[in-house]
Structure 1
Amino acid sequence: MSQRQESSTIKQKLAAGLKAWRFGCVLGVFLTVTAVLGWRLVDLHVVDQAFLRQQGDVRTIRVDAIDAHRGVITDRYGEPLAVSTPVETLWANPGEVDPDDPRLATAASLLGINEARLRQRMRDYASKEFIYVRRKIQPSLARDVLALGLPGLYSRQEYKRYYPAGEVAAHLVGFTNIDEQGQEGIELSYNNWLSGVPGRKRVLRDNRGHLIRDLSLIRDARPGKDLTLSLDLRLQYLAYRELKAVVQAHDARGGTLVMLDVSNGEVLAMVNQQSYNPNDRTSLSPDRLRNKALTDLFEPGSTMKPLAMAAALESGEYQLDSMIDTAPGYRRFGRFTIRDHRNYGQLSMTGIISRSSNVGISMIANDIGGDVIRDFYFQLGLGQPTGIGFPGEAVGVLPMSSDWRPVEEATLSYGYGMSVNALQLAQAYMVVANGGTRYPVTLNRRDQPAIGQRVLSEKVAAQVRGMLREVVENGTGKRANPALYTAGGKTGTVHLVGANGYEDSQYKAIFAGMAPMDNPRIVTVVAVDAPQGGDYYGGEVAAPVFARVMSDALRLLNVRPELTAVEAATQTPGKSGERG
């Protein structure tokens, strides 16, 4: 074999060997990759199956909350006072939103928010996955915004509190915050009762957060419990209308009206001025939030005289036909002098009340002693909480002394040196109206008969009611006569108390009374703060409100009129010459 042939043979062998080596390498790599992939498949589907499935679920399965609506608040006949309606909340994943997207301008315009502020928020929270864009809006508005097709913008259903009665029942019902947690009134005091318990469910979402389908229910939502109040919305509207009218007519600082059912202590109406709209609190001032009927205290003035008289008659020291000489029409206690409107001379027990005699009632008080009057006031519910559990309720001041001075006994008998709220005063008059039983007052409708405590004999209660009727028919309360019904009550006019003591030219006009007198059904207290102009006495400002409210309220409650139209015409209210 020549050298050239030998060289060619060697090359052929080397080529064949190299080809075999390459084939072996490729085959080895292929087999190795196949083995690795095979092992990985086994690892994924057998060894790490549970772990990987869990991780997949974490990335696609979410646990969403199911909102529970808050309980409904209604009046005694089922008329809604507070309801929760379904709304939509828009939220965004800023990481998915382009802050420069021109559609953001349209979205901001539809939502009524600042466009520049919206874009800046998307930039500031780009590392976050959730921000609110606009909470609790109408579903139709949410649909319009979502129709823009903005990436990263989503919605969820929530509930929003709505108050159908608006400002008419605002102070009593109160309101919630945006998360439906009670902030004022009944909404606050019954927050736990009204609040629902949210539910939870598993849902499947894609990598952009879109809902694919519901998977399973973890816990169903439990709505809040409903609450039925003792309030009669018809009477509430009526009382609010009349109180607002008198406050505007006299350019007064404010006012309060409370109406009680004398048979069980239920609050039928409770209104205040000034009020607010709980559905729109954008310009709400804090001074309008107070339920003045419960939070504001005042000296009740002459409205306490009938109650002091009841204490005297109940003590047995005085009888209905007892006479008191009030001449010369004033009394001096050191540097302190109390006066009547004029010198009435001899007055009967009824005359002392109908003439609103400070001298007469103070003489009786000095005779029976301060302890007798004070203890009776306390039995009526004064100087202690009413027990209704309303937030911010003021207790009031009922003085106590181990050694009463004559001037302290005197002022206690005509309502100075003490303080009450309007509901406490109404509760005290309720005892006289129903024959002597004190029932716990309540804002909830009673489903069972009320259990009361007798604090006054029926005989004395009837005698005092006769005095109160005389006040309206011939005394300081002539303008409190309701059409077609008889009424009884007492006027009161007291100085308002300011930061520096009594305000010389500012008064509170008060009337507390009941009707109809053959069988009292309702007790109402009216108080008007700082009426301006020439009229500021209780008989001139508060009594006419009482007359209009009671006349309409008794008709709404189907109470049979006591008087004929002819008899009612002779009762045309006029100004009394007396002041109380």
Structure 2
Amino acid sequence: MIINQKKKIDKKKKNKSHIPFRLNLLFFVVFLLFASLILRLGYLQIVRGEEFETQVKRTETTTATGTVPRGMIYDSQNRQLVGNKPLQAITYTRGAQVSGADMAKIAKNLAKYITMDTSDLKERDLKDYFAATNEKKLNDRLSKKETQLKGGELYDVQLSKITPEEIQFDEAERQVAAIFKKMNGAYALTTTYIKSKDVTDQEIAEISENLMSLPGVDTSTDWDRIYPQGDMLRSVLGSVTTEKTGLPSDQASAMLAKGYARNDRVGNSYLEKQYEEVLSGSKSKSETKTNNSGDIIDTASKYEGAKGDNLVLTIDIDFQKKLEDITKKQLASIRSGLVDRMYVVATNPKTGELLGMTGQKYNYETKEIEDDALGAMNTQYTMGSSVKGATVLAGYMDKVISLDNNVMVDRPLKFKNTPAKSSWFNRGGAISMNDETALEVSSNSYMMQLAMRMGGQNSYTPEGTLDIDKDKVFTKLRGYYAQFGLGVPTGIDLPGEALGYPGPTSNPGLALDFAFGQFDTYTPLQLNQYISTIANGGSRIAPHVVKEIRGTDENGNIGAIQTEIQPRVLNTVNVGTEEMKRVQTGMYNVVHGGNSNGTGKLLASAPYSISAKTGTAEAFYDGPLEASKGESVFNLTLVGYAPSNDPEIAIAVVVPYLPYNTTSKVNINTAREVFDAYFEGKDK
């Protein structure tokens, strides 16, 4: 009993001795933890406190770029064709982490000082604004499954929860929504225009006074393209994108790599596009400081930028105006049936300078004749006998004729089971002639016999077989024609030119038609390059619209020459000087020769010497009237240059879709008026 009681006492003592030890261990551990925490806090505050304070106050500096006015475009006499109208503007630069809700607050504040046009607000714009100001409300309307969506899918669902009644804003709220729309279209750290039209001095003043409460908002200047000469050459001058359109989608990647912003206004067509890098100038640069939250806290200008350089064109607007008036008047005089268009291209054959280019086209909807200058380079037609100069020189290049062996007999060619093919002036006889006379009287038979020789057949037997290698003829002729610019790019400094259309080589008879201009189609610009090549003695020179690139002087006017565009020879025709002279003589005789069958005698009375070649092509209508497509028509053409011994101007006239078997001389009459306009202007 005593022993048992002693054991119980010993056990209690043992338990009591263990409890204080555990408590002490726990206290010690807690002490260590508190000591570590105190040491850590001391380390953070004393040792690294300054570093963390710096991080809290940290800012980032980012270089942002801004637009500058584009260069201007002038005619050859330095008269302005395209200029810039300066505009006051209000801009917004979006911070790196600025939310939609943040922008909505800025927009609401900015609406106190400016008035916006709200007419173009769409339902989506109103929903975007509502979503930015009511994010929690929209999230509460989402199902559990919908809350798991991300990015654009989630946003689209949020917008779908907005009712029509919730976006029935009053005008004041619509003003805010219009500002928000502009802000919301900006990329991070890029500048966009909130308002650049009809900005008042009062709006500029009030915003300038309240910039501290409008983070990212600033006042600036914008520009708008103006056209002092009205619609003259508008299609050739091209267009510029809007800020909303920004970079063309097919060029965006390349332009972004060059430093453009997505909303930059850039040349979108023709001259504005071709010379974008010249006209765009150097963008302004400013340093934008943002805090660690991404808010813009300061913006400082570092480089004001430089306005784009200016283009001086080869075109004199006085001559261009006369060209347009002549073409419109001549088209109006023959306008009937299917004839609805007319084109004239004039160049300096020695330099490739485009002196003038016009197209006039009847609009079946407005019943008016309208400008279609671009049609001179992007529409194509069968040109007829105008191309015979290239055919004769092809004969020399192929060695099927020579300087001492170039006489053939013009007669109708009648092959077995085919209709006869003949010259217009000789339906049944036989007339011996050389190459010069063949050009003067426009012999189809002579050209067909050249093609026969190129295809391996050197003799003709009435009702015999046309035994030629047609593929060889087409290949050869197209190769020779290409040396003159027919069927190939002309090299003009404008985008979008057509190349013409090569017809299908289905039978040998078509190869004969090809030899006198009745098969492949060409553009009026290509036809002009062809005659220019003959006029200058064999150099195919790329036509160009820009003569000089000039800077801007200190007064904002056209400045010193930066670049002078030099003639660019694409190739030299592979034919001798004497052979070229024979073709030039043949074209001179078209106008001045003694043969009564010469087709250009109406030009002989000019006080200057003209060399020319006319063309009449049997073709098929391919205009806008669907019911008439495929009808037989005549295309009248003319190529020429003057003065004959020292050419200053080469022209091509193309008048498609005249009535079949027309006797009109509209091509010749137009040519004479164009030549007169050029030399009269030169005298003045």
TM-score (norm 2): 0.60
**How many Å separate the matches in 2 of 1:316 and 1:261?**
32
**How many Å separate the matches in 2 of 1:222 and 1:275?**
43
Query: Any idea what SS the aligned residue of 1:130 has?
Result: helix
**How many Å separate the matches in 2 of 1:120 and 1:484?**
73
Q: Which moved more, 1:426-435 or 1:84-93?
A: 84-93
Q: 1:363 is matched with which residue?
A: 449
**How many Å separate the matches in 1 of 2:536 and 2:600?**
21
Q: 2:307 is matched with which residue?
A: 223
Tell me if 1:143 matches 2:192: no
User: Retained in 2: the 8 A contact 1:171–1:272?
Assistant: no
Question: Displacement, 1:227?
Answer: 3.1
The alignment's C-alpha RMSD in Å is 4.5
**How many Å separate the matches in 1 of 2:181 and 2:234?**
39
Question: Displacement, 1:400?
Answer: 9.6
Query: Any idea what SS the aligned residue of 1:228 has?
Result: strand
Q: 1:187 is matched with which residue?
A: 272
Q: 1:84 is matched with which residue?
A: 84
Give structure 1 stretches of 5+ with no counterpart. 1-45, 205-211, 277-282, 560-580
Q: Residue type of the partner of 2:452?
A: N
Identity across matched positions, percent: 20
Q: 1:241 is matched with which residue?
A: 325
**How many Å separate the matches in 2 of 1:248 and 1:484?**
27
Question: Displacement, 1:74?
Answer: 2.9
Q: Deviations over 1:517-575 (max 9, x none)?
A: 1222211011123357x9956x612221111111121333359xxxxxxxxxxxxxxxx
Question: Displacement, 1:176?
Answer: 1.0
Q: 1:20 is matched with which residue?
A: none
**How many Å separate the matches in 1 of 2:195 and 2:331?**
37
Give structure 2 stretches of 5+ with no counterpart. 1-49, 93-102, 122-168, 185-191, 244-264, 290-296, 456-472, 548-563
Question: Displacement, 1:415?
Answer: 1.3
**How many Å separate the matches in 2 of 1:129 and 1:226?**
31
Q: 1:570 is matched with which residue?
A: none
Q: State how 1:133-532 maps to structure 2 within 5 Å.
A: 136-137=196-197, 141-143=198-200, 146=203, 156-179=220-243, 180-201=265-286, 216-251=300-335, 252-274=339-361, 291-313=374-396, 315=399, 317-319=401-403, 322-327=406-411, 329=412, 331-332=414-415, 334-343=417-426, 345=429, 346-348=431-433, 349-369=435-455, 370=473, 372-398=476-502, 406-445=508-547, 447-448=565-566, 450-451=568-569, 453-473=572-592, 475-481=598-604, 483-494=606-617, 495-498=619-622, 503-531=630-658
**How many Å separate the matches in 1 of 2:479 and 2:497?**
22
Question: Displacement, 1:198?
Answer: 2.4
Residue of 531, 554, 557 corresponding to 2:679: 554
In structure 2, the CA distance between the partners of 1:548 and 1:117, relative to structure 1 (3 Å rule), is farther
**How many Å separate the matches in 2 of 1:144 and 1:275?**
46
Question: Displacement, 1:268?
Answer: 2.0
User: Retained in 2: the 8 A contact 1:272–1:293?
Assistant: yes
**How many Å separate the matches in 1 of 2:666 and 2:202?**
54
Question: Displacement, 1:449?
Answer: 5.7
TM-score (norm 1): 0.69
In structure 2, the CA distance between the partners of 1:256 and 1:52, relative to structure 1 (3 Å rule), is same
User: Retained in 2: the 8 A contact 1:201–1:216?
Assistant: yes
User: Retained in 2: the 8 A contact 1:366–1:406?
Assistant: no
Figure out how many residues of one structure are paired with residues of the other and give that number.
Answer: 485
Q: Deviations over 1:109-130 (max 9, x none)?
A: xx79589996563364686783
Q: State how 1:50-65 maps to structure 2 within 5 Å.
A: none
Q: 1:564 is matched with which residue?
A: none
Q: Residue type of the partner of 2:86?
A: P
Q: 1:121 is matched with which residue?
A: 174
Q: 1:3 is matched with which residue?
A: none
Tell me if 1:130 matches 2:183: yes
**How many Å separate the matches in 1 of 2:55 and 2:633?**
79
In structure 2, the CA distance between the partners of 1:507 and 1:174, relative to structure 1 (3 Å rule), is farther
Q: Which moved more, 1:66-75 or 1:443-452?
A: 443-452
In structure 2, the CA distance between the partners of 1:191 and 1:242, relative to structure 1 (3 Å rule), is same
